[in-house]
Amino acid sequence: MSDHQLRTRTPAAPAPRTTGGSRTAAAFRAAAPALAVYAAVRALGLLAFWAAASAAGKDPLGPLSGRWDSVWYQRIAENGYRYTVTLPDGSVHSDLAFFPLLPALERAVSAVTPLTLGGAGLLVAWTAGLVAAWGIFAVGAELRGRRTGVVLAALWGVYPTAFVQSMAYTETLFTALAAWSLLAVLKGRWIAAGVLCVLAGLTRPSAAALIAALAITAAVTLVREYRDERRAGPVLRRNARMIAGVALAPLGWLAYVVFVAVREASPVAYFDVQAQWGNNIDGGRALAAFIAGLPWPAALGLCAALGLLGWLVVLCVRQRQPLPVLLYTVAIVVISLIGAGYFGSRPRLMMPAFPLLLPPAIALLRLRPPGRAAAVLAALACASAAYGAWILLGAGPP
């Protein structure tokens, strides 16, 4: 090519820049099948419950927005932290056991819409459920491809206690924040992961599992890099954003614990409040005592369920799930099992451990013909809907 040609050649048009909005739109389009399947299975659950409640002559909205923990959150949204109740056994239940992000969102939504606090709580929970399904899909797609992400989101929507995802509870909000925080870690966006972890720490005490997952992952990364280089300075500078994200992560959880400590004039006040509710950590003694007190067929069935849970954890390890994902999952399971609280709540407490469902999701995708996977998911959705309707019309809290 001559000098003249070099001087007069028209330069190539620059590649179009991808904006944040276009990236979000593309991500939403990719997640649309997962969101559609998740919305469908949750709609089926609501329809089954609505039909069962109507047949029983009961208000279908009551258990979703106006019973059990939902009432405590709405009371905080309306009046702040000031309510306690003394039970016949002398224990004192304080609303300080409940973290502030959900009631704050309920109050904000109710202030700018015609919705009551109960309606606002449902709107927050249902919206967060879709955001959580999107995040779960994104994690599954990052690890095993888009089809796996779709099935993973669907399985989370048909989890045995998935009916809680339709209630004004914190499970969907916390799972959404945890899923997107884990995705941010997988993509190396540590500041975003830390900020999301701050919000998770204002939502549920089990954010300790997410905080630990981020901190241990960062520590392992630093140790490995230092072992290779033997120079701390460059390692720390190269990982400055990771260190900053980890430093941010516990601030939400710590802020609320400090708030309770200052309010009650005791450094361990938050833990005392939880102990009054029976939610102190006892290493699993309450769980063992509960199993021992059951009739042997029920005890055997529960032990089998716990064995299945342990097997799922083993499968997650065998799949070589990334360290932050695996640590988060194991920590959620452990926290759910070693507390002294009401046994019936433990399956609900484990629901945010969505990576446990990755082995079943992969197994479903291996079924042939492919229609079998859809049939299994449909059967699970019907079973989950029926179980949810039965529990919600019962007397005890989930």
3-state secondary structure of 339: strand
Residue type, 252: G
As a whole number of angstroms, the distance between CA 141 and CA 92 comes to 46
DSSP helix/strand/coil, 281: strand
pLDDT > 70: percent of the chain:
94
Identify the pLDDT of residue 12. 39
- Per-residue pLDDT for 318 more than 70? yes
Domain count, the chain: 1
Quick: pLDDT tens for 140-179: 999 999 999 999 999 999 999 999 999 999 999 999 999 9
187: confidence class by pLDDT, cuts 50, 70, 90: very high
Is 6 a residue whose pLDDT tops 50? no
In the chain, DSSP assigns E strands to: 84-86, 92-94
Q: Which of 85, 104, 70 is nearest to 273 (CA)?
A: 85
Tell me if 8 is assigned to some domain. Answer: no
pTM: 0.92
Which has the higher per-residue pLDDT, 339 or 204? Answer: 204
Phi/psi at 120 (nearest 5 deg)? -65, -40
- Summarised one tens digit per residue, pLDDT across range 220-260 is 999 988 887 766 678 888 889 999 999 999 999 999 999 99
- 8 A C-beta contact, residue 221 and residue 266: no
Q: Tokens 């433990």 label which residue?
A: 346
Distance CA 270, CA 50 (A): 38
Q: What does the block give as tokens for 316?
A: 């997650």
Model confidence at 213, pLDDT cuts 50, 70, 90, reads very high
pLDDT value at position 254?
A: 97
Higher pLDDT residue, 253 or 87? 253
More confident residue, 363 or 287: 363
Please, is 4 exposed, middle or buried when counting C-beta atoms within 10 Å of its C-beta (0-12, 13-18, 19+)? Answer: exposed
**Domain assignment present for 17:** no
Q: In the prediction, which pLDDT does 161 show? A: 92
Neighbours of 373 (CB within 10 A): 19
Give the model's pLDDT for residue 10: 34
pLDDT band at 290 (very low <50, low <70, confident <90, very high): confident
Instruction: Please check the confidence at residue 209 and state whether its pLDDT lies above 70.
Output: yes
Residues of the domain holding 340: 32-392
Q: Is residue 172 part of a domain?
A: yes
Integer CA distances (angstroms), 16 to 19, 23, 100, 118, 124, in order: 9, 13, 43, 46, 36
Q: Other C-beta atoms within 10 Å of 315: how many? A: 16
Is it the case that residue 3 has pLDDT exceeding 90?
Answer: no
- Higher-scoring residue by pLDDT: 283, 154: 154
- Using CA atoms, how far residue 214 sits from 30, 123, 325, in Å, is 27, 30, 9
Q: What is the mean pLDDT of residues 126-145?
A: 97
Q: What is the mean pLDDT of the chain?
A: 90
Tell whether 136 is covered by a domain.
yes
User: How high is the pLDDT of residue 143?
Assistant: 96
- Give the tokens for residue 180: 């997107």
* 371 φ, ψ (degrees, to nearest 5): -60, -20
Tell me the β-bridge partners of 112. Answer: none
- pLDDT confidence band for 271 (50 / 70 / 90): very high
| Residue 24 forms part of a structural domain | no
pLDDT digits (tens, 9 = 90+) for 14-40: 444 556 678 888 888 999 999 999 999
Is 22 a member of any domain? no
Q: Give the pLDDT of residue 378.
A: 95
Tokens matching residue 366: 């291996």
pLDDT of residue 291: 87
Nearest to 138 by CA among 104, 178, 110, 108: 178
Dist. CA 38–CA 176, nearest whole Å: 14
Which three-class secondary structure state does DSSP give residue 341?
Answer: coil
Please report whether residue 25 resides in a domain: no
Task: Examine residue 16 and state whether it is found in any structural domain, yes or no.
Answer: no
